[in-house]
Structure 1
Amino acid sequence: MTKSPLAKAAFPLALTLFLASCGVETPASPGSSNDTANLEIPARGKPPASESFYEPVMQRLDEDMQNYVQTGKVANLAYALIKDGEWVRTGYFGTRTLGGSDPLDEHTIYRVDSLTKVVTAVSLLMLMEEGKFSLDDPITRFLPELENLKVTRSFEAGGGGGLRPANRAPTMRELLTHTAGFAYGGGRTNYANQVFLQRDVDDAPTGDEYVKRIAEVPLMYQPGTAWSDSAASDLQGIIIERISGERLGAFMKRRIFDPLGMVDTGFSVTEAQRWRLADLTAWAPGQPLTPVEGPHQAMDADQIPRDSGGHGLVSTISDYEIFAKMLLQEGTFEGQTLLSPESVRLLRTSATEFTHPETGFPIHEPFRGTGFGYGVAVVKNTIRSGLGAPEGTYFWDGGTGTWFWIDPYHDIIFIGMSQNLSPYPVMPRKTAMTDVYHALFTDYFPSNPVVEGDTFE
């Protein structure tokens, strides 16, 4: 086996130091001195982005991502890994249409589902910077319909268990951190979420009707006492509309999408964009993929009367990368400043734990080792999270199988897109994260000789 230049240099040095510690004098090598000053040990430094990852593990990333398509869980899956602003690796698996032959690329349009929440949070923080509200304002300043909220007596109760008045109205801070106590429906069986579904809150045709319906839904817990993914982002979107006087999509287009050049992001698609929209499919174990029927398949503007701040946007890998770069660069992208660095740091600073409101124990096992900031989950403990990502990495997932993360320490952005909408989630983020961080070189020894004055900074 051939030794690397580093190994050849390090072994004699280690032997010399060992013998010296034993009081043994070692002869100098021809043309050298005992102080090892002439040993040519490669310098550590920051590698070029293209050399930052171990290729065999990156191949495993592709295999793992492709496996979701090959096993029939999704019709397609695409990802982009960006480091130091450079697209290091992409993967495009499957086809845009179910059973079709049309390929994917970075301009394929996806329903990004809960990745919308991050855009909504940024929009609301922009208004906060303009002095439109403070974080400790009660949400009833903008949503007076929610003055008399009730709270379930038991978070887990499936049949009600009695109601009690809320101690106070939730604050804007609690709305942003999803600690206000609102339900969200979905597959949850506790009483508050059952009522949310019975009141058909999510299908409310207007923001005003949404607020009217959710006022009849009890909170899951007293405001500020726990965390839960919730209707808070939809309420954020309605507050944005009430403050700005604009529909949420119009506000986002004027204040975010147009300034950043995000040409394929919005709450619907145009006829010109339609051919790039990926099919929305559903998967169940042992069953073939099937297309999802309804307005969310076509994403026609006239079939989607309300812009949902929690899950309504469509976007592309290319567009969402721009948004992520703006966050990575502390609120500014190519001369366009959306947020101050202080607001971006607020967004990505953990403000709460994922805990059960009654026991204090972790409530969402996939989120162990993480907390939640003002719109994103944040890695707090690399080892406990099992993700490999360093503390301070922030991320979120969409229920259709979309995900992203931003790692400020390593200057990494990762965006993944798929389109499964069913009671059987397909969530590849954790697999992608562990693969990427297993492949990432944390120390770099350039293979070329080090020349005095060279730098990898």
Structure 2
Amino acid sequence: MKRIPQLFFIAFLVIEMVMAQEETPSVITEISKKRLDSTLKSFVDNRDVAGVSALIYEKGEEVYYNAFGYADLKKRKPMERNTLVQIYSMTKPITGTALMSLYEKGKFKLDDPLEKYAPEFANMQVYKGVDSTGKMILEPIKRPVTIRDITRHTGGFTTRNDIPRLSTALRLADPFNWENNLDQMAARLGRVPLWFQPEEKWEYGPSVDIQAFLVERISGQPYAEYLQEHVLGPLNMKETRYFVPKSDQKRMSATYSHDNLGFLDQQDDQESHAYNYGKWNFTPGGWGLTSTLDDYMTFAQMLVNMGSLDGVKILEPETVELMATNHLDENIKDRSWLPSKGQVGFGIDFAVRLRPPASTKENNGVVGEFFWDGAASTLFWVDPVNKLTAVFFVQIFPFNGTLHKKFRDAVYGPLSMENTGN
């Protein structure tokens, strides 16, 4: 056999190295930017929202930003890049990050019983219905609630207001009163029976508020203080906070709903922003933070970079991977409204996409992405395959998933079964 000339061999190696390092094609192109502009503008033109803004990064670079409409429709104040919004449940992944920073330090294991650190939740009973006199029927818990349960919403906790007698008991316990501190919240919530046995269902509820309490209990530090010291501060997320001082309140977006005729109805600021304009004892892990596009993008960029950003390490790569891995057993069939998010499971405070969309009606996205949204219809996601992160801000009630579907289609292109592999 003839030997390959040395120069040819070197050239062959170089080509192989270049091909191995070749990046995936860009998702955000000039065509998709025009599509995004058109889509976001249509939300305002169609009176779906008063104002909308979006920020997208790809491979560490900003590739799209725009805003349309108004943060304050009555005052004709435009939606801008530094507009503050209430992110509601997009608080949850931030709380999960704080909790998992303690996990990395060996302070707990995911399958540890919650009661090991919080005896407030020991010997809980489980709701089985009501008897003929209207009294609750209870049964003993079959196994303790674990920390994993409260990170994936399988612990049995609920905030529903339509469960006979149980909802009344929850209302009377009043665990989520803003005057309560997290210790008081846990003590009051621990006296209310669970709605179902652990791991019997997926049910959204107060689990991430319990995570905030757990951070406080394990660290020995007030939750808001721990969050600032270990997550928000190191990432320089100065605009992400519970309390918005008067000097910054002019940047807060109003919140909106629709009246019976379909017109936008702007809510009273003092009422809709009452939590963030006051200083309360209650620092929930599941909601309550305000943020800006750039601040929340900083958080998303830390995640897509596997726990680090600009030389600051918040989590180890293995921990981010653990958080973005499905922990929800396929045998759990009762999942409330989670299936409306698409072909997803649930990790640690994120939905995790397991399969391509099964129909064109489902949300567009890439297998492996992890994401969450907020009650006022905000959204973010992390797409590790394309190194893409997106943050989408509106302030509209009730939650409008159609906006998310259209925004995702604008990012990735219209969904067809051909490009999902189905």
User: Which residue in the other structure is 1:367 paired with?
Assistant: 341
- Cα distance, 1:123–1:296 mapped onto 2, change above 3 Å: farther
**Which ranges in structure 2 are unaligned for 5 or more consecutive residues?**
1-18, 416-422
Task: Give the whole-Å Cα distance in 2 for the aligned partners of 1:196 and 1:61.
Answer: 44
Task: Give the whole-Å Cα distance in 2 for the aligned partners of 1:329 and 1:433.
Answer: 21
Task: Give the whole-Å Cα distance in 2 for the aligned partners of 1:319 and 1:146.
Answer: 35
User: Which residue in the other structure is 1:148 paired with?
Assistant: 123
Task: Give the whole-Å Cα distance in 2 for the aligned partners of 1:377 and 1:193.
Answer: 27
The SS at the match of 2:315 is coil
The SS at the match of 2:413 is helix
User: Which residue in the other structure is 1:289 paired with?
Assistant: 265
User: Which residue in the other structure is 2:177 paired with?
Assistant: 203
User: Which residue in the other structure is 2:112 paired with?
Assistant: 137
Give the Å deviation of 1:144: 1.1
The SS at the match of 1:213 is helix
* Aligned positions of 1:395-410 closer than 5 A: 395-410=371-386
Give the Å deviation of 1:207: 1.1
- Cα distance, 1:109–1:363 mapped onto 2, change above 3 Å: closer
- Cα distance, 1:121–1:193 mapped onto 2, change above 3 Å: farther
User: Which residue in the other structure is 1:426 paired with?
Assistant: 400
Alignment partner of 2:139 out of 164, 182, 195: 164
* Aligned positions of 1:241-320 closer than 5 A: 241-286=216-261, 288-292=264-268, 294=270, 296-300=272-276, 302-320=278-296
User: Which residue in the other structure is 1:35 paired with?
Assistant: none
**Which ranges in structure 1 are unaligned for 5 or more consecutive residues?**
1-42, 441-457
- Cα distance, 1:60–1:190 mapped onto 2, change above 3 Å: farther
- Cα distance, 1:301–1:293 mapped onto 2, change above 3 Å: closer
Kept after mapping to 2: 8 A contact 1:387/1:430:
yes
Structure 2 counterpart of 1:433, one-letter code:
R
The SS at the match of 2:196 is coil
Task: Give the whole-Å Cα distance in 1 for the aligned partners of 2:100 and 2:277.
Answer: 26
- Cα distance, 1:362–1:315 mapped onto 2, change above 3 Å: closer
- Cα distance, 1:147–1:230 mapped onto 2, change above 3 Å: same
User: Which residue in the other structure is 2:321 paired with?
Assistant: 345
How many percent identity over aligned positions?
A: 28
Structure 1 range deviating more: 141-150 or 125-134: 141-150
Kept after mapping to 1: 8 A contact 2:353/2:368:
yes
Give the Å deviation of 1:349: 0.4
- Cα distance, 1:279–1:388 mapped onto 2, change above 3 Å: closer
* Aligned positions of 1:220-239 closer than 5 A: 220-239=195-214
Kept after mapping to 2: 8 A contact 1:78/1:105:
yes
Once the two structures are superposed, residues 105-128 of structure 1 have per-residue CA deviations (whole angstroms, 9 ceiling, x without a partner) of: 222111110000000000000011
TM-score scaled by length of structure 1: 0.77
Kept after mapping to 2: 8 A contact 1:404/1:429:
no
Give the Å deviation of 1:410: 0.6
Alignment partner of 2:85 out of 104, 107, 110: 110
Task: Give the whole-Å Cα distance in 1 for the aligned partners of 2:406 and 2:136.
Answer: 39
User: Which residue in the other structure is 1:93 paired with?
Assistant: 68
Task: Give the whole-Å Cα distance in 2 for the aligned partners of 1:149 and 1:398.
Answer: 30
**CA-based RMSD:** 2.8
Alignment partner of 1:80 out of 55, 62, 79: 55
Kept after mapping to 1: 8 A contact 2:125/2:193:
yes
Alignment partner of 2:304 out of 320, 325, 328: 328
Task: Give the whole-Å Cα distance in 1 for the aligned partners of 2:73 and 2:364.
Answer: 34
Task: Give the whole-Å Cα distance in 2 for the aligned partners of 1:55 and 1:337.
Answer: 34
Task: Please say which structure displays the higher CA radius of gyration.
Answer: 1
Structure 2 counterpart of 1:95, one-letter code:
Y
Task: Give the whole-Å Cα distance in 2 for the aligned partners of 1:54 and 1:336.
Answer: 30
Correspondence 1:411 to 2:366? no
Task: Give the whole-Å Cα distance in 2 for the aligned partners of 1:65 and 1:378.
Answer: 25
Correspondence 1:189 to 2:165? no
The SS at the match of 2:72 is coil
- Cα distance, 1:336–1:160 mapped onto 2, change above 3 Å: farther
TM-score scaled by length of structure 2: 0.83
User: Which residue in the other structure is 1:15 paired with?
Assistant: none
Structure 1 counterpart of 2:147, one-letter code:
M
Structure 2 counterpart of 1:138, one-letter code:
P
Kept after mapping to 2: 8 A contact 1:397/1:429:
no
Task: Give the whole-Å Cα distance in 2 for the aligned partners of 1:353 and 1:153.
Answer: 23
Task: Give the whole-Å Cα distance in 1 for the aligned partners of 2:316 and 2:121.
Answer: 31
Give the Å deviation of 1:102: 2.2
- Cα distance, 1:288–1:195 mapped onto 2, change above 3 Å: farther
- Cα distance, 1:137–1:417 mapped onto 2, change above 3 Å: same
Total equivalences in the alignment: 387
Structure 1 counterpart of 2:379, one-letter code:
W
Structure 1 range deviating more: 196-205 or 128-137: 196-205
The SS at the match of 1:203 is coil
User: Which residue in the other structure is 1:380 paired with?
Assistant: 354
